[in-house]
């Protein structure tokens, strides 16, 4: 019986040794296959991946840039509409005020009325100039964002 146990113990030990050796040899084989793949095929695979990544990146930048540009266009349109509404309203109130001054002070000369109108118009010109400056600034910001998006 003692001989039987020893024989089995030797067979089990040999099986463990063979299994661990096979695992070692499989790892070496994987390393060799990986090395060969890296030398022969990896370059083309990586170049293909870089090309695809570049295409996706440029599309994403274009989409983001278009959305930013659309947002600025909408904001500028709303700004212009608000400015026009305010200008019209102020002009109406100014004309009403001038008419009331004429009625209240009948001795007011036409020169004085003209001077008041010019003063109102010059203030409007200052507001229009400020609005144009703001629009120019927003255009510059859009261009900077587009340049930054292209560089990224």
Q: Report whether pLDDT(148) > 80.
A: no
Place of tokens 């004085």: 112
pLDDT tens profile 99-129: 777 777 666 667 766 777 777 777 766 676 6
For residues 27-46, b (16+ Cβ closer than 10 Å) or e, as one string?
A: eeeeeeeeeeeeeeeeeeee
Mean pLDDT of 34-58: 83
pTM over cut 0.75: no
Give the end-to-end CA distance of the chain in Å, rounded to a whole number: 78
**Burial label, 3 (beta-carbon count in 10 A; 0-12, 13-18, 19+):** exposed
What does R_g of the chain's alpha carbons equal in angstroms? 41
| pLDDT the model gives residue 135 | 67
């Amino acid at each position: 019986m003692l001989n039987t146990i020893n024989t089995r113990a030797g067979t089990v030990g040999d099986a463990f040794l063979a299994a661990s050796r096979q695992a070692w040899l499989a790892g070496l084989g994987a390393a060799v296959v990986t090395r060969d793949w890296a030398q022969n095929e990896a370059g083309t695979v990586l170049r293909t991946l870089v090309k695809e990544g570049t295409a996706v990146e440029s599309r994403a930048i274009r989409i983001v840039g278009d959305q930013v540009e659309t947002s600025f266009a909408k904001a500028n349109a709303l700004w212009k509409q608000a400015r026009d509404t305010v200008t019209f309203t102020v002009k109406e109130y100014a004309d009403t005020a001038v008419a009331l001054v004429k009625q209240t002070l009948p001795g007011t000369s036409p020169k004085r009325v003209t001077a008041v109108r010019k003063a109102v118009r010059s203030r409007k010109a200052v507001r229009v100039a400020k609005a144009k400056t703001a629009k120019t600034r927003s255009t510059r910001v859009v261009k900077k964002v587009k340049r930054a998006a292209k560089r990224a």
